[in-house]
């Protein structure tokens, strides 16, 4: 069975593409999927750092394209999950070193050995973005609940539809429920309505994500952060499970107790 | 003067002329890239001119892609490299006509053959062709890469994400956090020294080592070399 190529892109920088790629890779691999995460951000690679794999890189994507090594040699196996691999970008080159046809060829080769290929797109809508979406079967758009990010996401969705890579699905990242409640942040419903695409994930703002990025341990590796659980929910939806969207705040003790009692009651 | 040399050597691969220069075990591999032949040759000449101190005394293999070249054109290429003191030893092409002409001109058509020819030769370290050192007078940042067939001395730091590839020793008068490949053409006698040796990854000839993931103690100058099949770092003490 051939693997699915998911490209994660946003238009705007800094909204969480690389974080989402690393965490979806982890979440899918935790669920027994064979996963390779591909860093298409040549010249500004970060995925390796966020996954704590930087010091294991010997060859990279550009070495594969320029035939200095075989594809297998460039894959870096994750330290923690045996079914998770990274195909790193080159750091000392730029986007012109790779073309869309190279990405298609490499992903075709990887499909045979993996269930999922998660491609981390660079910011922008230039060649790096074109490279990242060229091999995609499905595109996940990530945005933040702020006007500029949503505007860029809209632009990117248009480009993806023009490339017939759609329908794109949407992840809204860095939601602060408290601000939304005060009316100071765009509501998720408003974002979804504006972009008119299917929602696949809501990720709350979570300090654990910053610590995780700095230490190279994606939050999805453990079950004790809100963001980590949200990424696992996306992975489950990607695998076809029907996971309801839950309110994004740490429930108080009383609420949790109430919910516990209710679910116990419902399941019996 | 040192600074000038670096300003030539810095950012080789960043240049927009489509020519890619890469350090390989047997020297430099130059890929001409796409474009009309005459224009490519002019770009190559320009590149050799701009980086004359980098290229002089080096060995190079040239990849011309699928271009059909005759003996006359290959002689022009040889003359061009000779003018800048570069030994052109191999010419790679996917075009049969070009390969034949290259062999007739005394060039090796395959990098793997270079290995076999090279093996009996002396290691690059002591008896190799005389290549000068390259002094880089500033800090290398992420994405910057220095390649040089001889020794490389960096007066400054090497940040994580930066890369130094040298035919022989690498000396960093500063903190080394990036990736260094010393003895990149196969010289396992090459060493890497730094005032603070904390590289992401260290390579000497065909050996690779990662820094331990523990927290750093107070930095001391260290020297890394290959010993018993491993890369070993030792504090540099007064002796």
Q: List the domains of chain B with CATH numbers.
A: 2-109 (3.30.750), 134-235 (2.160.20.70)
Residue B225 near residue B191, CB atoms below 8 Å: yes
Strand partners, B61: B29, B90
Say whether B32 sits in a helix, a strand or coil: coil
B93 interfacial to chain A (CB closer than 8 Å): no
CATH annotation of A4-262: 3.40.50.300
**pLDDT tens by residue, chain B, 239 residues:** 222 222 233 334 445 788 888 877 778 888 888 888 888 888 888 888 877 777 777 888 999 888 888 888 888 888 888 888 888 888 888 888 888 888 878 788 877 665 443 333 333 444 445 578 899 999 999 988 999 999 999 999 999 999 999 999 999 999 999 999 999 999 999 999 999 999 999 999 999 998 876 666 788 999 999 999 999 999 987 55
* Residue numbers in B near A97 (CB within 8 A): 20
Residue A137 near residue A103, CB atoms below 8 Å: no
How are beta strands A84-87 and A76-77 bridged, if at all? antiparallel
ipTM for this prediction = 0.71
Q: What distance separates the 2 farthest-apart alpha carbons in chain A?
A: 61
Residue A203 near residue A173, CB atoms below 8 Å: yes
Residue A24 near residue A115, CB atoms below 8 Å: no
Q: Residues A84-112: pLDDT tens digits?
A: 999 999 998 888 899 999 999 999 999 99
- d(CA B61, CA B30) in angstroms, rounded, equals 6
- d(CA A91, CA A88) in angstroms, rounded, equals 9
Q: Which of B21, B17, B55 is nearest to B145 (CA)?
A: B21
Half-sphere exposure of B59 (CA within 13 A, CB side): 17
- d(CA B60, CA A160) in angstroms, rounded, equals 43
* pTM for the whole structure: 0.68
Half-sphere exposure of A15 (CA within 13 A, CB side): 31
Instruction: Quote the tokens at residue A33.
Output: 């999927």
- d(CA A28, CA A26) in angstroms, rounded, equals 6
* Residue numbers in A near B145 (CB within 8 A): 92
At B96 the pLDDT is 81
Rounded to 5°, the CA angle B181-A45-B13 comes to: 55
* Residue numbers in A near B200 (CB within 8 A): 54-55
CB–CB contacts below 8 A, A to B: 32
Q: Where are the domains of chain A?
A: 4-262
CB under 8 Å to A20, separation ≥6 — which residues? A8, A140, A142, A171, A173, A203, A231
Closest CB to A91: pick one of B22, B161, B210: B161
- d(CA B174, CA A185) in angstroms, rounded, equals 46
- d(CA B139, CA B155) in angstroms, rounded, equals 7
Task: Show which residues on chain A lie within 8 Å of chain B, measured between beta carbons.
Answer: 43-45, 54-58, 66, 68, 91-94, 97
Query: Running DSSP on this structure, what letter comes out for residue B54?
Result: H
- d(CA A233, CA A244) in angstroms, rounded, equals 9
Radius of gyration of chain A (CA): 18
CB under 8 Å to A42, separation ≥6 — which residues? A61, A62, A89, A90, A93, A94, A95, A97, A98, A122, A128, A131
């Amino acid at each position: 069975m051939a693997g699915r190529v998911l490209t994660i892109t946003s238009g705007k920088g800094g909204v969480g593409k690389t974080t989402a790629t690393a965490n979806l890779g982890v979440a899918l691999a935790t669920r027994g999927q064979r996963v390779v995460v591909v860093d298409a951000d040549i010249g500004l690679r970060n995925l390796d750092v966020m996954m704590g794999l930087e010091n294991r890189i010997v060859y990279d994507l550009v070495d594969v394209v320029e035939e200095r090594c075989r594809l297998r040699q460039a894959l870096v196996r994750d330290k923690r999950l045996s079914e998770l691999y990274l195909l790193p970008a080159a750091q000392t080159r730029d986007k012109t070193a790779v073309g869309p046809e190279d990405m298609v060829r490499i992903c075709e080769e990887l499909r045979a050995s993996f269930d999922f290929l998660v491609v981390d797109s660079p910011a922008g809508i230039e060649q790096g973005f074109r490279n990242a979406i060229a091999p995609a079967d499905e595109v996940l758009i990530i945005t933040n609940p702020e006007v500029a990010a949503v505007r860029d996401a809209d632009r990117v969705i248009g480009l993806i539809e023009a490339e017939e890579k759609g329908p794109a699905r949407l992840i809204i990242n860095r939601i602060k429920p408290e601000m939304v409640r005060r009316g100071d942040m765009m509501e998720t419903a408003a974002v979804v309505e504006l972009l008119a695409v299917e929602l696949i994930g809501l990720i709350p703002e979570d300090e654990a994500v910053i610590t995780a990025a700095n230490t190279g341990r994606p939050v999805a590796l453990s079950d004790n952060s809100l963001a980590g659980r949200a990424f696992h929910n996306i992975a489950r939806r990607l695998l076809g499970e029907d996971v309801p969207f839950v309110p994004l705040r740490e429930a108080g003790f009383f609420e949790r107790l109430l919910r516990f009692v209710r679910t116990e009651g419902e399941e019996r | 003067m040192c600074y000038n040399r670096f300003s030539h050597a810095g950012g080789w691969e960043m240049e927009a002329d489509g020519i890619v220069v890469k350090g390989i075990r047997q020297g430099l591999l130059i890929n001409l890239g796409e474009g009309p032949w005459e224009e490519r040759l002019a770009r190559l000449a320009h590149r050799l001119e701009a980086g004359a101190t980098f290229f002089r005394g080096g060995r190079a293999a040239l990849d011309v892609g699928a271009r059909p070249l005759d003996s006359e054109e290959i002689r022009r290429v040889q003359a061009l490299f000779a003018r800048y003191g570069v030994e052109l030893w191999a010419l790679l092409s996917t075009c049969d006509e070009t390969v034949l002409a290259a062999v007739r001109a005394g060039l090796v058509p395959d990098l793997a053959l270079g290995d076999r020819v090279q093996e009996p030769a002396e290691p690059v370290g002591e008896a190799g062709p005389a290549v000068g050192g390259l002094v880089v007078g500033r800090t290398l940042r992420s994405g910057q890469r220095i390649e040089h067939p001889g020794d490389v001395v960096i007066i400054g730091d090497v940040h994580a994400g930066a890369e130094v590839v040298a035919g022989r020793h690498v000396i960093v008068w500063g903190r080394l956090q990036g990736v260094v490949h010393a003895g990149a053409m196969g010289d396992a006698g090459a060493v890497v020294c730094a005032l603070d040796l904390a590289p992401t990854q260290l390579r000497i000839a065909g050996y690779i080592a990662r820094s331990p993931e523990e927290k750093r103690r107070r930095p001391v100058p260290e020297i890394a070399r290959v010993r018993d099949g491993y890369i070993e770092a030792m504090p540099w003490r007064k002796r």
